[in-house]
Structure 1
Amino acid sequence: MSTPVWITATPPATHGELHVGHLAGPYVAADVLSRYLRAEGEPVLFTTGTADHNSSVHARALRAGRKPEEVAEGYRAAITSDWLRSGVEFDHVVRPRQDKGYGRWLADLFRRLHAEGVIAARTRLTPYCESCERWLHGAHVTGTCPHCTAPSDGGMCHECARPNDGGDLLEPRCAQCGSAAVPRRCRRLYVPLEPHREALAEYWATAGLPPRLAALCESLVEDGLPDIAVAHPAEWGLPVPVDGFPEHRIDGCFEAAAMHLFGYGDQALPERAIHFCGFGHAFCHAVLLPVLLFAQGVKLPQHFCVNEAYVVEDEALVWGSGQKAWALDLITEYGSDTLRRHVLQARPLGRRTEFRPERLAAARRELDESWNSWLARLFAAVREECAGLAPAALPGGAGWEVLERRLLRGVEDLREAYSPESFDPRRAVALLDEMVRSAADFGHVNAHEAHRPTADSRHLPALAAQLAVARALAAWARPVMPEGADRLAAALKTPPGGPVSAAALLPPAPGTRLAPTSGPVFGF
């Protein structure tokens, strides 16, 4: 059996719930690709995890006066529930605090890398809070990025995605008490990237990086590859399994990169991997993960689908008493179909975009006024004119040949939009909408056939044609809107899913008793 296509998505830190920006980033898009490839018969392994040991979890716990394990577990449960309700189906979600053998596996990897010299000790100036008596790293320290001057935490700037060593931050302050950080010498463990310069440069040159990520990687090479801290003196996280660092914990970014390897398991590595991540998290995927693979003698062909930030500028949408931007609230109000198609349409590629509630409402109107309206008319016509049975007629009607050719061209464009090489889920949504509108127009034009005095069943081929389109959409739209697509397949008494191909453009067998839903097919 061939190895699967390995699809990964960034492990989210469990310091808060998912909001609409997270879904618009890596998760729904990665699920679309996973569903498409599975329908094509390709083996797929779709993995992620939860970054329970991220410093942001500890920072959130300190602010709330709670234990970090309580914060991590509570939000991990909420995040995985949101994925499930939004139709994002992973094969494996690594749970660092629950998965058997994970802690031992990570400790063994860390220890081996240290023994091989991939991880080495360095003494550097590190921020320290004298008021809190705490070394500051990650979310515990805030300041200004020395590379782009944007506000940044320690370790990684989520604006320019370049690493910092905490002590590099301009005007660093303690995130808990706001006191100015004091630089102190601290001996920590690092991954020096410079020894991997040639391997990384070769890897980046062949990986087909998106332009902004390619610019980041080339800048890192030009400026001199940095040493990346992979452990810190801290109270939260997995302990460093190396002598001489008794109160140090493994860094969250290192763990997030390594977590992907644990999620893949012990099977032979795949022929290719496709990583979905936000640009602010791209360093872990494009730099640390390849280095971990190099250390094991593996050069894995990989592809990156990188999104920019989808931001909620109006804080009232998150914190206020009005409409919320949390994933749970939006799924509850709009349903997974509406939310998925919206975040795919609004997916921030190449530039930052902003969440606007009216655009989400417009996505629901499109489903109601176009998709559901057409399907309701179609099922009503079959009920009234054929007693609820699929007609014994071949697809036809005025304009059918033109519509059929248009649909067959459209499904080829749709396959291109779904495929890994030219993945464009926004284009997929636009193509599906165009198909539905064309089918609805066709239905309106041919509805008059039933009222001709000489009709003599001349209206039935047009019903069969529309049922063929509906049956095709149950397969073609499933990567984008699986919940509605499966409801449509059940209404047509056809198996759910199936390849996105011209072969799906067939009506149900004559005499099949249809079982339309009592409410909307897509969304609610």
Structure 2
Amino acid sequence: MSTPFWITATPPATHGELHIGHLAGPYVAADVLSRYLRAEGEPVLFSTGTADHSSSVHVRALRAGRKPEEVSEGYRAAITADWLRSGIEFDRVVRPRQDRGYGRWVADLFQRLHAEGVIAARTRLLPYCEPCDRWLYGAHVTGSCPHCAAVSDGGMCHECARPNDGGDLVEPHCAVCATPAVPRRCRRLYIPLEPFRETLADYWAATGLPPRLAALCESLVEDGLPDIAVSHPAEWGLSVPVDGFPDHRIDGCFEAAAMHLFGYGDDRPLPERTIHFCGFGHAFCHAVLLPVILLSQGIKLPQEFCVNESFVIEDKAIVSGSDHKVWALDLLTEYGSDTLRRHVLQARPLGRRTVFHADRLDAARKELDENWNSWLSRLFAAVRAESAGLAPAALPGGTGWEVLGQRLLRAVEDLREAYGPDTFDPRRAVALLDEIVRLVSDFGHVNAHETCRPTADCRHLPALSAQLAVASALSAWARPVMPEGADRLAAALKAAPGRPVSDAALVPLPPGSRLAPPSGPIFGF
């Protein structure tokens, strides 16, 4: 069995639909890398799951007066559909409540870690809501983060990504009834991280973490690695398989880490390389908890991290829910996957928060319509009028073709660099693709005047052949970013879809092959 390149994306909690921030975070970017590597012939395993047992699912159910399994199942189906419509193709999506053997597998892992002393019992203060008669953990409790003072749920602050123990929150209150919480002593199961200080420090030093994630990990080491609660007295989730904790459920962060390992499978050799795509607010699970689980089992897995910041929605109308222009389903219906994918890659928040602007999404559609589709429409019309809809029997040429060809060869090398895992930069990939289209569009405009010369003598055909060669190459070069339009273009040219992003794709079409352009736009709609 071949050793795969393993790519993961954070499992989303199934308490709501996907919005544009999710797509701008890990999912589309991870899919771009996956598609590029597959086209290169690399074996890839692209996996995620759905966090069906997240505490936020239970909170959503309590607020709506529904059963948590109903909430989870409904939103899991919606999320899966949005991934498919976005062109995000996972090899494996773990479904905690459907996948055979999942619950037993997680329980066995938990039980084994407890038997080995990695998981141990501790008694600490935990917020409690007296009116609801419920322990408050995770999304059940809201307060201020003890580290950065941002509004935070229990367990993890999504602003600074540092863990808290629930009882550490400043002014905690119940997320359901808003009553101030009362601290009570509660015995739970924890993973003490301090015994892993040296191994984690060495692991992080060798990993090459992004700067903000490196600062988080180094601060955790400097401040003293905390104990991380991995069980809670709760009604929703996987039961704790340890005697003495009959009403406890396994923590969602622990389960998310275990979910990645379940998704990879026990029957494969260790991956040659692993890249985790996640938002910074979820980085603790990937960069701390997952390595601890692996290291405790004697597994040293090379892992890399592609971390994004938040894609912020500041418009009050949108935040309040009166405007639905941020939900993946609505945006995909209005703009299509090509437009939405290229926009979120351009706006992807790296190193700092990015604010969503609806007008920039409109600009992405305008770019495709006025440049990409306009050039292709002119090209197909010219082939129909001047070559009877057939690929010309002429070698690529025309005024400026030699210079354009050299620029295209340099551009595809830059494009490979932008797509590659070592220098991954999908925003630059979009910019390079736009520049390629502008160059060939200008070339087409310049050479279109050949038909007006009294001595034309078929001088216009080499330019058509050249543009068709670029269009064929573009169906390969643009596919990681916009697979729907790229495959539509490949079908129109009778070219094979999914070819490598290389200069080998820049070849003329077989003379006489009949083109089959669609009646509508190639990219977007």
Structure 2: segments with no counterpart, 5+ residues: none
Counterpart CA distance in 2 for 1:389 and 1:109 is 61
Paired amino acid for 1:85: R
1:86 corresponding residue in structure 2: 86
C-alpha separation in 2, matches of 1:111 and 1:87? 38
Give, as a single letter, the amino acid of the residue that structure 2 aligns with 1:107.
Answer: A
Post-superposition CA distance 1:410-464 (Å, at most 9, x none): 0000000000000000000000000000000000000000111100010000000
Are 2:105 and 1:115 equivalent residues in the alignment? no
**Counterpart amino acid of 2:36?**
Y
Q: CA deviation at 1:88?
A: 0.3
Preserved CA contact (<8 Å) 1:21 1:310: yes
- Contact 1:33–1:419 (CA<8 Å) still a contact in 2? yes
The equivalences for 1:245-260 within 5 A come to: 245-260=245-260
Q: Equivalent residue for 1:377?
A: 378
Matched, 1:229 2:232: no
Partner of 1:326: 327
Question: 3-state DSSP class of the match of 2:166?
Answer: coil
Compared with structure 1, are the counterparts of its residues 222 and 45 closer, same or farther at alpha carbon in structure 2 (3 Å cutoff)?
A: same
The CA distance in 2 between the partners of 1:242 and 1:96, in whole Å, is 20
Corresponding position of 1:206 = 206
* Alignment correspondent of 1:51: 51
Deviations 1:363-382 (A, max 9, x none): 00000000000000000000
SS at 2:81's partner residue? Answer: helix
Residues 177-196 of structure 1: pairs in structure 2 closer than 5 A: 177-196=177-196
Q: Are 1:318 and 1:326, in contact at CA under 8 Å, matched by a contact in 2?
A: no
Which amino acid in structure 1 is aligned with residue 351 of structure 2? G
Paired with 1:72 and 1:97, the residues of 2 have a C-alpha distance of 9
Q: Does 1:345 align with 2:356?
A: no
Determine if contact 1:318/1:324 at 8 Å carries over to the other structure: no
Query: In the alignment, which residue of structure 1 is the partner of 2:15?
Result: 15
Structure 1 Cα separation of the partners of residues 518 and 496 of structure 2: 16
In 1, the alpha carbon distance for the partners of 2:368 and 2:187 equals: 58
Q: Which whole-Å CA distance do the structure 2 matches of 1:264 and 1:51 have between them?
A: 16
TM score, norm. by length of structure 2: 0.99
1:489 aligns with 2:490: yes
- Partner residue in 2 for 1:243: 243
For 1:42, the equivalent position in structure 2 comes to 42
* Secondary structure of 1:498 counterpart: coil
In structure 2, the partner of 1:124 is 124
Q: How does 1:470-481 map to 2 (within 5 A)?
A: 470-481=471-482
Distance 1:514 1:321 in 2: 46
Q: 2: distance between equivalents of 1:469 and 1:322?
A: 41
Offset at 1:314? 1.5
Q: How many Å separate the matches in 1 of 2:523 and 2:52?
A: 35
Secondary structure at the aligned position of 1:370 is classed as: helix
1:396 matched to which residue of 2? 397
Kept after mapping to 2: 8 A contact 1:122/1:189: yes
Q: Is 1:262 aligned to 2:266, yes or no?
A: no
Please name the residue that 2:453 is paired with.
Answer: 452
Instruction: Give the 3-state SS of the residue equivalent to 1:290 in structure 2.
Output: helix
Do the aligned partners of 1:25 and 1:307 also contact (CA within 8 Å) in 2?
Answer: yes
Structural mapping, 1:54-69, within 5 Å: 54-69=54-69
- What amino acid is the match of 2:66? R
Aligned to 2:137: 137
* Cα displacement string for residues 306-337 of structure 1 (whole angstroms, at most 9, x for unaligned residues): 00000111142365554521000000000000
User: CA–CA distance in 2 between the matches of 1:295 and 1:203?
Assistant: 13
Tell whether 2:511 aligns with 1:515.
no
- Alignment CA distance shift 1:322-1:153 (3 Å): closer
| Distance in 1 of aligned mates of 2:250 and 2:314 | 33
CA distance 1:194–1:47, change in 2 (3 Å): same
Q: Bigger shift: 483-492 or 201-210?
A: 201-210
Q: Secondary structure at the match of 2:244?
A: coil
Superposition misfits of 4+ residues, deviation over 3 angstroms: 318-323
Give how far 1:209 is off.
Answer: 0.6
Tell me the amino acid that sits aligned with residue 135 of structure 1.
W
Deviation, structure 1 residue 131: 1.1
Matches of 1:25 and 1:437 in 2, distance apart?
28
Whole-Å separation in 2 of the counterparts to 1:319 and 1:455: 63
Structure 1 residue matching 2:75: 3-state secondary structure: helix
Say if 1:321 and 1:151 are closer, same or farther in 2 by CA, change over 3 A. Answer: closer
How many Å apart are 1:508 and its aligned residue?
A: 1.1
Query: Counterpart of 1:387?
Result: 388
Q: 1:232 to 1:322 in 2, by over 3 A?
A: closer
User: How far apart, CA to CA, are the structure 2 residues paired with 1:180 and 1:323?
Assistant: 32
Q: Which consecutive residues of structure 1, in runs of 5 or more, have no partner in the other structure?
A: none
Counterpart Cα distance in 2 of 1:317 and 1:178: 24
- Measured in 1, the distance between the counterparts of 2:183 and 2:253 equals 22
Deviation at 1:296, TM superposition (A): 1.5
SS at structure 2 position matched to 1:294: helix
Q: In structure 2, how many angstroms separate the alpha carbons of the residues matched to 1:89 and 1:315?
A: 33
Q: Is the 8 A contact 1:192 1:226 kept in 2?
A: yes
Give 1:344 shift.
0.1
Q: Distance in 2 between matches of 1:260 and 1:155?
A: 20
Distance in 2, matches of 1:146 and 1:17, equals 30
Offset of residue 264 of structure 1? 0.2
Determine the C-alpha separation between the residues in 1 that align with 2:477 and 2:102.
Answer: 38
Give the Å deviation of 1:2. 3.0
Q: For 1:136, give the aligned amino acid.
A: L
Compute the displacement of 1:249 (Å).
0.1
SS of the residue corresponding to residue 422 of structure 2 reads helix
- Which secondary structure does the structure 1 equivalent of 2:449 belong to? helix
Whole-angstrom distance in 2 between the partners of 1:107 and 1:301: 25
Find out whether 1:407 has 2:408 as its counterpart: yes
C-alpha displacement of 1:409:
0.1
